[in-house]
Amino acid sequence: MEVKIQSTQIIKPSKSTPENLSKYNLSLFDQLSASSYINLVLYYKSSNEINISDTRGQLVNSLSKVLTLFYPLAGRIAENGLEVDCKDQGVKYLETQVNIKMDDFLEQVPKIDHIRLLIGVPDDVTQALLVVQVNVFDCGSIVIGVSGSHKVTDVHNLVMFTNEWASMTRTGVSNGAFSPSFDNLDSVFPPKQIPSLGISNTDEKHAKIVTKRFVFNKNTISMLREKTGSPNRRHSRVTLVSALIWKALMTIDQVKSGTLMNGLLAPAISLRGKVGSPVSERSFGNVWVPYSIRFQQNEMEFKYVYLVALIEDTTRDFVKWISKASNEEICTRAVASYAEVGEEIKQNKFAIFTSWCRFPVYAADFGWGKPHWVSEAGRVHEMVTLVDDKYGDGIEAWVNLNEKDMYVFEQDEDILKFTS
């Protein structure tokens, strides 16, 4: 598969950002976020409705318009690292030609290295906070790769941005359904002087990180419910899948060390829509709080059903705590959780999970219908990303592990039984 870049340009907002918005201050959660990019890849099969020559102009025009709503994405991180200089520097935009048909690409079970060719790469020259790559396949199908800096946006914002861009491309105007709100979160959750937390994007001590996708369809989710012994209880899909993967990951440590060890699962909860939270549903920025779920091998049996209960109980308690905690307490807890994860990673242990489930990733209709598929593009550090499948009742788990651990993970009895 060959992906040839046809053009590269900088797209700026269609209207100048007002002077009073020229500085966008980052919050503590932006400060804590990794200096990496979130990648969202949307696949659209060709139809008679896609006219490539017209589509190119429409995409650029609507992208320019939507950037006026998401203006920090067209800016640049300032030297102090705590604000965005919003002077409409623009986003990086690429168009490519792919010498394969979409059906052939999908039937081959896409390799992660091929998927990564469909996303634009940030560079030190433009320092763009958003990179968009529009890939046109030989059959006329289109794949759009959207990459946003995690220092400025979380996946919620990136999905909202993509959906607003799609809506504007399809209709020519914004209906505001996905427009963001700027709530001065830097004053609610102000940045702090904090030491290095030990969470890096790359670690030369580790082997090559490989990414593989494991699919839990509707039927296997039902099987996991039965595995808990409470098939009629509505355990969430995320909890069921997280517990199974976590158990397999702790088994890797058991294989390497010869004994069962304690384990840490580190997911995150969005503050959007939470009782007592000052964050609105449309708040722009990183507004999620990491928390720790600790398995102590001397306190419970190493069984799937107990891990499901542990995840549910800890998450429920944390949500209750958030509803009563002050903003300062939430900030303190977030820093402590990051530090705990950092220590875990220093010991070569796995910890980080993130869920994109229930985000409207399949809602982006540019005028060609909903995406045939939406994917991740892998990570450069060890973590797991959970994404809804196209039917909304299954989960695709994108697992990033070093090569040796991935081999053991793939051989796990439950992973073999419950995934495809």
Tokens representing 12 are 């700026």
* 78's tokens: 């300032």
Cα 385 to Cα 38: distance, rounded to the nearest angstrom: 11
Of 150, 154, 186, 253, catalytic? 150
> What's the pLDDT at 275?
66
Give the pair of three-digit tokens for residue 339: 């530090």
pLDDT given for residue 385 in this prediction: 96
Beta-bridge partner residues of 268: 290
Nearest C-alpha neighbor of 137 from the set 163, 114, 107, 103: 103
**pLDDT tens per residue, range 337-377:** 988 888 887 877 777 899 999 999 999 999 999 999 999 99
Task: Output Rg (C-alpha) for the chain, integer angstroms.
Answer: 21
CA–CA dist 329, 107 (Å, integer) = 50
| pLDDT tens digit sequence for 76-128 | 999 999 999 999 999 999 999 999 999 999 998 889 999 999 999 999 899 99
Neighbouring residues of 316: CB distance < 8 A, sequence distance ≥ 6:
none
Query: 85, 183, 365, 414: which is the annotated catalytic residue?
Result: 365
CA distance 177 to 163: 9
Spatial separation of the C-alpha atoms in residues 46 and 389, rounded to whole Å: 20
> Which sign, positive or negative, has the C-alpha torsion 60, 64, 65, 71?
positive
Q: Give the residues of the chain that fall short of pLDDT 50.
A: 198, 200-206
Give residue 387's pLDDT.
Answer: 97
Rounded Cα distance between 56 and 270, Å, is 35
Is 183 marked active-site?
no
Which are the contacts of 141, defined by CB distance < 8 A and separation ≥ 6? 43, 44, 45, 46, 50, 101, 102
150 is catalytic: yes
Q: What is the pLDDT of residue 406?
A: 94
Q: Tell me whether domains 3-188 and 209-418 share a fold.
A: yes
| pLDDT given at position 198 | 47
Rounded to whole angstroms, how far apart are CA atoms 311 and 242?
A: 9
Q: Can you give the residue ranges of every domain in the chain?
A: 3-188, 209-418
pTM, full prediction: 0.94
The fold adopted by the segment(s) 3-188 is Chloramphenicol Acetyltransferase (3.30.559)
Check residue 78 and give its pLDDT: 96
The CATH class of the 209-418 domain is: alpha beta
**Three-state secondary structure readout of 293-340:** EEECCCCCCCCHHHHHHHHHHHHHHHHHHHHHCCHHHHHHHHHHHHHH
